[in-house]
Amino acid sequence: MGWVEVIVLGLVQGLTEFLPISSSAHLRITSAIFFRQDAGASFTAVTQLGTEAAVLVYFAKDIWRITRTWVVGIWDRSVRSSLDYRMAWYVIVGTIPIGIFGLLFKDDIRTAARNLWLVATVLIVFAFILAFAEFWGRQTRTIKNFTMRDAIVMGFAQAMALIPGVSRSGGTLTAGLFLNLTREVAARYSFLLAIPAVLISGLFSLPDVFDSSGHHPSGAQMVVATVIAFGVGYASIAWLLRYVSHHTLYLFVLYRVALGSLVLALLMTGTIAAT
């Protein structure tokens, strides 16, 4: 894997991880159009460690407070009614679906799910689902109204993002809007919910990304890509939280449809290969 490819994919990962446009789809499409080869699901999983490190830094105070309250709450019943204690359990329970489906369909995620016909179609289909959620959702519920039902529904929505094109943040934001949560609340929970799933996935994928066969990065290249993803991802978090507080998600809907349509056109003309 060349250095230009590593740098470009690191930038793409950082720019797209937190937007509802699917970072895994963008890495897959960018690799196919510009580099004529798939960087692989493991490369995606490991570079996501960089963007999740950005989440850990950006939300460090919140994460520390929630974790500390949860630990105290195991022994002290008086704090179990607090939002922080409940939020810890919401993240734990919400992570279960992606863990189960990730294990069950691990091989398909790395192979069949990365077919560009599927990726492009999913980009478009879920764009319309996101648009409907934006139109239908009343956005009347704040973080104080968040419940275990919300955590479970959004957890299953996150699991759908195992298919490139769905988008982890897109799936959870869509589910949050259908649950009448505000965009900002849905986005904040989405960031927290992604932490355990992405960290575990990335760590387990480390051996695969350095496989000695075929198209793979060196250790130095992987570090650089992950650091780039961290820096750009940190800026993306701040931007997205400000954006969703004052704007609808229709811009992302239009972008997804346009990108999906472009990929379908390139596939139909034989400009790029589906696998």
pLDDT for 29 equals: 96
pLDDT for 211 equals: 60
pLDDT for 217 equals: 79
Distance (Å) of CA 253 to CA 111, 144, 240, 258:
26, 28, 15, 9
pLDDT for 39 equals: 81
Tens of pLDDT along the chain (275 residues) come to 789 999 999 999 999 999 999 999 999 999 999 998 888 777 888 888 899 999 999 999 999 999 999 999 999 999 999 999 999 999 999 999 999 999 899 888 888 999 999 999 999 999 999 999 999 999 999 999 999 999 999 999 999 999 999 999 999 999 999 999 999 999 999 999 999 988 888 877 777 666 655 567 788 888 999 999 999 999 999 999 999 999 999 999 999 999 999 999 999 999 999 98
